[in-house]
Amino acid sequence: MHGTQPDGTPAGDTPARPNSLRAGPDARGRFGIFGGRFVAETLMPLVLELDQAYAAAKADPAFRRELDYYLKDYVGRPSPLWFAHRLTQELGGAKIYMKREELNHTGSHKLNNVMGQILLARRMGRSRIVAETGAGQHGVATATVCALFGMKCVIYMGATDVERQKPNVFRMRLLGAEVVPVTSGAGTLKDAMNEAMRDWVTNVRDTYFLVGTVAGPHPYPEMVRDFQSVIGEETRQQMHAAEGRLPDIIVAAIGGGSNAMGIFHPFLDDASVRLIGVEAAGRGLDSGETAASILRGRPGVLHGNRTYLLQDADGQIDEAHSISAGLDYPGIGPEHSWLHDIGRAEYVGATDDEALAAFQLCTRTEGIIPALECSHALAHVARIAPTLDPETLIVLNVSGRGDKDIFTVAAHLGVTL
């Protein structure tokens, strides 16, 4: 990773080298000590089958061509890299670019991954799709491709999230999905994940579990990262076209971590590029009501992988808290845990209030209503940009649009809709 990396080279020209940080995971699905395949025996043969099917698809140019076709003509890629003039002016410091993932069909980065996995599920002959969702963005994306390909779709969503993300629940149902509210636990993403796993273990023959983030048993963290890496690959080319060099800092919000992993991964070997993941601090990192798994958790095993988890001394998993349903998860993708431990990426927190302020700032200065998830990333950009000189190039991953969040934001601002 210490070789001189030509700046702005398209990602396709920078294959992973022997010492590359992009080479993981290993054959056991591990990034350092993180990752792995901690699933019940009933699921293990399926996980191994998926691993083989994904490896075969990855090596098949026809699969790549098919995915590229759908990404371009259905998802709407590439997404623009937008120079945020007024936000840059307002913050008065570093030059801020926005990677416009909210412009994808269905309004977030989620469709990049979902499109890849649905094509894989079809190759594997599966007819029924189950998925978990928090904010509903992954659920909407999954329901969308199921409609597109005429497949049966069951979405597990925590009952609390069903309540605070009503527009997305309605969207999923319009798209033909069955939305199952999950009442166990706090009724959020963790509980939806448990229930999706219970469905998968019960319906192993025809069902494909379409995981929405870079977590779960191997090969999910690798596969979802690969499908999301299109974000970083495009960013690299677009920044080269705009500025003739690499960005200095990339900032992305982290729940499970798929949008962050997607934009970070193509830059892992570029030591000059600072990678900053912003966790949801909730009511504050030390409030006891947070979703900051790396900053306030410790390594453990949940949902098929070893990673940083919010947990008590006895290893019971804590409930996460965030204003953003999409970040309300007590774990994080294992590759992030590894990048944290080796110091390649930095992880910071932003609170509910900071995210709300950033949400309004972005809307007012750029005419872009961001999702509450990426508003956390923007909150950190707003913190650091004024301290940096105007030559510094920051890329903020605007991973989703905020239309779904206007009810939550209105409630917090004391407005009745």
> Tokens 């083989």 — which residue?
52
Task: Give yes or no: 375 in active site.
Answer: no
Nearest of 302, 298, 270, 292 to residue 395 by alpha carbon: 270
What does the block give as tokens for 267? 């830059």
CB of 310 to other proteins, least distance (A): 11
- Which CB sits closer to other proteins, 184 or 287? 184
- Which CB sits closer to other proteins, 94 or 309? 309
What does the block give as tokens for 237? 């080319």
State the Cα–Cα distance between residues 123 and 136, nearest whole angstrom.
26
CB of 128 to other proteins, least distance (A): 14
Catalytic residue among 322, 324, 375, 399: 399
CB of 46 to other proteins, least distance (A): 7
Catalytic residue among 101, 102, 132, 234: 132
CB of 311 to other proteins, least distance (A): 7
Catalytic residue among 99, 110, 190, 404: 110
Task: Give yes or no: 399 in active site.
Answer: yes
CB of 309 to other proteins, least distance (A): 8
- Which CB sits closer to other proteins, 201 or 357? 201
Which chain residues interact with other proteins by CB under 8 A?
Answer: 28, 36-46, 184-185, 190, 193-194, 197-198, 201-205, 300-304, 309, 311, 313-317
CA 288 to chain centre: 24
Task: Give yes or no: 110 in active site.
Answer: yes
Whole-Å CA distances, 388 to 7, 238, 251, 381: 21, 22, 14, 10
String of DSSP letters for 209-263: E---SS-SSTTHHHHHHHHHTHHHHHHHHHHHHHHSS--SEEEEEESS-HHHHHH
- Which CB sits closer to other proteins, 161 or 352? 161
- Which CB sits closer to other proteins, 38 or 74? 38
Nearest of 273, 130, 145, 277 to residue 210 by alpha carbon: 130
Among all residues, which ones are annotated catalytic?
A: 110, 132, 399
